[in-house]
Amino acid sequence: MTEPTKDIAAKLQHPRRSLGNRHRSQAEKFLSLSETDSSNLLWAEQSARQAVLHDFTNPDNWRVLVRIKLNVGDHAGIHAVLNDLFAVLGRDPVYLTQLEGVDMSESGMGILEAALVADPLDPDDWWNGVSSDEDSILSFVERVGMLDMTDHRANILFSRRLERLRDSGREEDYLKLARVLLAQRPSNHEAWSALGRMHERRDEYDQAWLCYDQAQSNFPGFPVRDQFRERMEAKMDGRAPTPWKVPEVTQRVEFLKRMQKLSMSPSNDVRDDVVPEISSNTEIFGEVAHLRSEGRSSEAFFLARRMAAEGIDGALELVEEIRMEISDE
């Protein structure tokens, strides 16, 4: 039976190094054979594309793809490859400006190498480069808020960087930036779960439940919210003067408002960073439709989740619809 495209895409979200290495090895073999038979360049390019698809965190996969593009003379293709790499790196405006009016045959490989050195794809290489320099860490913390991490690869890449930040003891920075990351791509259930574990370890149980709730809502087969509730019931059973309770609807709504606010792009010109209040169900459904029409899926998702928390008819179906849209992006 043929595997559905959506299932394949879901499995490819996380880097698969062995497959990436295999396809890169094939690409290099075909590239070598192309010296005597240029028809092998087509096979080389196809294999190189597969290498990047399976493992976008290995810089050698990007290098071989650009080398092949140079051999083919596909300068527009080199531009597209670099643009794709910069999407993985959060569409940093500093990087994007380097692609304007540049002769890719002369500068394409140089731009690639400079980007890989300045912003390593491997999280350990990245951390080794910044961990001993407080200014570099502070610059990263400030920069994350200006990046576009809606691409699922960027969200994975920066999730791993935040893990290094957290494991070094910078918990407050992690808590702040994890919300920024998740506001841009709320379907990242693994990051929600990791954030929930951090809050649980800090005895911030309401915040932990809210994060686990987001994780399980985005991936129902991952019952972290239910497991947390079971842990809390076992922990509090008969031994606490005030047993822990699931957060009230008002707490959930405020949490979702904050997440919607974080998901707002500065380019959307939201005055005073305030989430607009909507007075009727008709207006709120209209606002969700408006946000979706503008491609602001994360904002629409958190607004729909607010509606669901408040028990508005049709909201749960809308949440699921938007969740699927975000997963497919």
Q: Which residue segments constitute the domains of the chain, with CATH numbers given? A: 5-120 (1.25.40), 122-185 (no CATH), 257-328 (no CATH)
Non-local (6+) Cβ contacts of 216 within 8 A are 189, 222, 223, 224, 225, 226
| Dist. CA 151–CA 147, nearest whole Å | 11
| Dist. CA 228–CA 206, nearest whole Å | 11
Give residue 274's identity as a one-letter amino acid code. Answer: V
pLDDT (tens digit per residue) in 101-156? 888 989 999 999 999 999 999 999 999 999 999 999 999 999 998 899 999 999 99
For residue 211, CA distances in Å to 144, 165, 241, 257, 275 come to 20, 19, 25, 14, 20
Quick check: 267 pLDDT over 60?
no
| Dist. CA 8–CA 282, nearest whole Å | 37
pLDDT (tens digit per residue) in 279-310? 567 788 899 999 999 989 899 999 999 989 88
| Dist. CA 139–CA 295, nearest whole Å | 29
pTM: 0.81
| Dist. CA 165–CA 172, nearest whole Å | 10
Quick check: 174 pLDDT over 50?
yes
Quick check: 99 pLDDT over 90?
no
| Dist. CA 194–CA 196, nearest whole Å | 5
| Dist. CA 230–CA 234, nearest whole Å | 6
Quick check: 278 pLDDT over 70?
no
In contact, 284 and 278? CB cutoff 8 Å: yes
| Dist. CA 284–CA 307, nearest whole Å | 8
| Dist. CA 253–CA 189, nearest whole Å | 19
Core vs surface per residue 271-283: b (16+ CB within 10 A) or e: eeeebeebeeeee
Quick check: 238 pLDDT over 60?
no
- Please give the pLDDT value at position 241: 53
Give residue 226's identity as a one-letter amino acid code. Answer: D
| Dist. CA 316–CA 310, nearest whole Å | 11
- Please give the pLDDT value at position 43: 96
Confidence class for position 93, pLDDT limits 50, 70, 90: confident
DSSP state of 55: -
H or E element that contains 230: helix 224-236
DSSP state of 204: -
Side-chain half-sphere exposure of 3, counting CA atoms within 13 A: 7
